[in-house]
Structure formats: C-alpha cells, structure tokens
Amino acid sequence: MHPRQLIVCCFIISCIIILSQCVGEKTYLRGEQFAEATSCATCHKNIYDTYISSAHSITSSPSNVKGSFISPDNVFHYSNGSKVLMEQRDSGLFQVGDQETHRFDITIGSGRKAQTYLYWKDGRYFQLPISYFVPAGKWANSPGFPATHPKFDRMIPSTCFGCHSSMVALKEVKMERLHIDEEFERNKMVFGIDCQRCHGPAAEHVQFHMAHPEEKEGRHITRIRDLNNQQQLDMCAICHSGLKTPQKNPFGFKPGDALSDYIYPDLSRPARPQEMDVHGNQYQLLTASKCFMKSKGMMDCSSCHNPHTSEKNDLQVFSQRCMNCHKTTNHKTAVLTDNCIDCHMPALPSNAITLLANGETSPTADSVRTHLIAIYTRLK
C-alpha cells in the first residue's frame, strides 16, 4: 500500500473510533467545567477587547459574510453556462443555483484571505459551492469543487469545527461502510476560537476569583509561561500542524497536553521541508528552521506572535522580534531592518488551496507566509 493510502485509511479508521465513542455521550458539548465564553471580559478587559476582533475569535460565525450581493458582482459563472447568484432576501442571504437554493448559515474564515460557507439540512452541514476570495475581491469556486457546474452536496465533517470553532454538538454518529455519517444538533455551536479553546476549561478559575476579588495570583488556571517549550508549541500545533490523523477529540485539548496524544505520527512528512505545503503546516515548517533548531528550546510561537492581538501586516513589529535574537547580522550588502520578513519568510503559494475567481480561466493559489525561516536565494 502507498504511504498516502495508508494514511487515509488510518485517518478514516481513527475518525470512526473517536466518533463512535461520542455516540450518545455528547462529548462535544462543553460541560460544566467551562465558563461562559464572555465571562472573561469582567476581569481581563484589555485582553478581551483586542482579542474579540482577532482572526481566531471570528474564524466561524453565523454572519460576517464579506462578498458583494449587488449586481453585477453577485454572480459566479460556470463553464457549462450555469451560474450561482448571491441574493439578499428578507429571510437571509442565499446562494441561488439553477436547480437549488441554500442559505449562508455559517461562515468559515475570518475574511483575511478567504471565506467558505455552510448550509444546514436535516442535521448535516454542507459546503456551499461559492466561496469568497479576498485578494481578488471576488466570489470564487469553492476549493476542490468542479468548475463545470454548481455542486451542493459536499458534507462537512466535525473535524472542520475542531479547528474553526470552540464547540459543536453531535447528535449521532453512524458508520456506513467506510463512510462516517455525523448528525449535528442544530444551533449548538460555540462560534469562533474563544479563550478556553487555548487556556482550557476555566469555570473553577472564574468562580474562585468572583469569590476572592482580593486575590492577585491566577488560580485554577494553567500558567502558560510555566509550561515547557514543547507544551507551548503543542498548544498552537493542535490546529497549526495541518490535517493529520486524529487520535482524540481536539475539543478536549488543554494547555500542558501533548500533541502526540491527539494525532498519530506524521508519516506523510516530505524529506525536504521546502516541499511541505505552506497552508496549515506552521508548526512543521518552523521546527525545521535553523532559527528553531539552534535556539535550544527558547523559541515558540509566542517568540513572534501575541496571541491576544492581531498584528497582521505589521512587518516592522515582526522584524523587531527577529532582532530580539539577531541583534547584528552579517549581510553582504546593507538590508532594510524594518522588513526581515519578505526575504526570509516569503509569502508562498499553497498547492493545497487554490481558488477559481469569477471571470478567471485558471485558479489562483492561496498565498501563505512560510514558517520555514531561511535564506531563500540559496534554497533550491
């Protein structure tokens, strides 16, 4: 068997095992150990206020659709002559095909680069055929969908919500040969990635501090800074190491847990890191970089990212973070010190995610900042 086929098989089998454990148990519901998502605002107002508009916080939503509903921009044309119209009606927003019409029920993607949309039908979520491609400012064919005609029957598995939401409730999971049939509970979802998705369940923390307002030390909550380097990386890698074979329900991940308990070892990893797709694989690319390997456990995602604020496109701030370690450099010619990024972490096309924008004849790749920090003039 080819390694890829083996991986796909393992993926399906482990999904079946994980999901069959969920049948009837509703393990996807958050449970009493979780506080109300908004409760953190009372005592952590500054963090909460910047976090609430970040890409994590709004990565899934019942609204937040970015594309245009005004003619002539509200259309996508297929090669067989059919089309889908984006329509705003009194009862909501719809994708109207020649044969079928469905509502924009859920938006996946904050709107940094692309959004894709789901509709609800009989306990299942389906992906709508048209996505929005932000750099082009146009509606586009959803990635992997046929360019010839609209397709409305792509079912969305719960794994999608495992990285793009904070909770989704499953009603029932059935096995049909090698195909998993998941039935969801309607309107039982915590949209976006909230504080407890990274910090773990915090009901006890909230109750304690409500009762003891004089206490200045955080209690009943993991101190992230006390975790070791691998544990801090794993907190992010649970979602930033690409689509891997799951071993355990990702909603159960807490800071301090090991990624290796949640996903199976990565057998698909190419020998040369530069061959790895830039989409989603931030953890693998970073850890293959010389910066990481030579930093002896001093580098994690927080070396450059503030998890509570969007610093997107502020390349000067990121370059400062490089210079925390690289106080001096040995460039042969003088280089800009306010942008180390474009030379050493260029935005590269993803092979996995391409979008065909309306009116274009060939698809455009999603472009993602690589986390393989390197000298690109030498890398072949």
Return the residues of window 36-65 that contact ligand HEC according to CB under 6 A: 39-40, 42-44, 47-48, 51, 54-56, 59
Residue 313 within binding range of ligand HEC, rule CB under 6 A: yes
Residue 141 within binding range of ligand HEC, rule CB under 6 A: no
Give, as ranges, the residues between 165 and 224 that touch ligand HEC (CB under 6 A).
Answer: 193, 195-199, 202, 205-206, 209-210, 215-218, 221, 223-224
Coil, helix or strand at residue 225: helix
Residue 151 within binding range of ligand HEC, rule CB under 6 A: no
DSSP H stretches of helix in 245-362: 282-287, 290-293, 315-325, 341-344
Element (H, E) at 133: strand 130-133
| Residues pairing with 85 in the sheet | 75, 96
Q: Looking at this protein, which amino acid is placed at residue 168?
A: V
* Shortest distance, position 277 Cβ to ligand HEC, whole Å: 9
Residue 236 within binding range of ligand HEC, rule CB under 6 A: yes
* Shortest distance, position 210 Cβ to ligand HEC, whole Å: 5
- Candidates 4-12, 91-99, 154-162, 265-273; binding stretch for ligand HEC (CB under 6 A): 154-162
Other Cβ atoms less than 10 A from the Cβ of 192: the count is 22
102 vs 164, which CB is nearer to ligand HEC?
Answer: 164
Residue 317 within binding range of ligand HEC, rule CB under 6 A: no
Q: What is the rounded distance in angstroms from the CA atom of residue 117 to the CA atom of residue 139?
A: 12
71 vs 337, which CB is nearer to ligand HEC?
Answer: 337
72 vs 327, which CB is nearer to ligand HEC?
Answer: 327
95 vs 319, which CB is nearer to ligand HEC?
Answer: 319
- Candidates 8-16, 173-181, 266-274, 321-329; binding stretch for ligand HEC (CB under 6 A): 321-329
* Shortest distance, position 39 Cβ to ligand HEC, whole Å: 5
CB contact set of 99 (below 8 Å; sequence gap of 6+): 150
* Shortest distance, position 221 Cβ to ligand HEC, whole Å: 5
Sign of CA dihedral 356, 360, 364, 366: negative
Which position among 18, 168, 189, 235 is part of the footprint of ligand HEC (CB under 6 A)?
Answer: 235
Give, as ranges, the residues between 237 and 296 that touch ligand HEC (CB under 6 A).
Answer: 238-240, 243, 279-280, 282-283, 286, 290-291, 294-295
Q: What is the rounded distance in angstroms from the CA atom of residue 347 to the CA atom of residue 367?
A: 6
* Shortest distance, position 81 Cβ to ligand HEC, whole Å: 27
Tokens of 12: 């399906």
* Shortest distance, position 90 Cβ to ligand HEC, whole Å: 27
65 vs 243, which CB is nearer to ligand HEC?
Answer: 243
For residue 60, how far is the Cα from the chain centroid? 9
Residue from 87, 61, 208 nearest 139 by CA: 87
Which position among 115, 141, 245, 358 is part of the footprint of ligand HEC (CB under 6 A)?
Answer: 115
CA distances (Å), origin 162, targets 16, 157, 175, 250: 15, 9, 20, 6
Residue 116 within binding range of ligand HEC, rule CB under 6 A: yes
Q: What would the x/- binding string for ligand HEC be over residues 18 to 37, using CB under 6 A?
A: -----------------x--
DSSP 40: G
Tokens 């976006």, residue? 192
Q: What is the rounded distance in angstroms from the CA atom of residue 358 to the CA atom of residue 132?
A: 10
- Candidates 67-75, 92-100, 268-276, 327-335; binding stretch for ligand HEC (CB under 6 A): 327-335
Residue from 5, 133, 149, 124 nearest 66 by CA: 133
Q: What is the rounded distance in angstroms from the CA atom of residue 186 to the CA atom of residue 172?
A: 12
Tokens of 349: 């096309």
Residue from 327, 18, 305, 13 nearest 158 by CA: 18
- Candidates 24-32, 77-85, 171-179, 232-240; binding stretch for ligand HEC (CB under 6 A): 232-240
Residue from 172, 213, 168 nearest 192 by CA: 168
Assess contact for 104 and 95: CB atoms under 8 A: yes
Could you tell me how many residues of this chain bind ligand HEC (CB under 6 A)? 104
Give, as ranges, the residues between 73 and 112 that touch ligand HEC (CB under 6 A).
Answer: 108-112
* Shortest distance, position 345 Cβ to ligand HEC, whole Å: 5
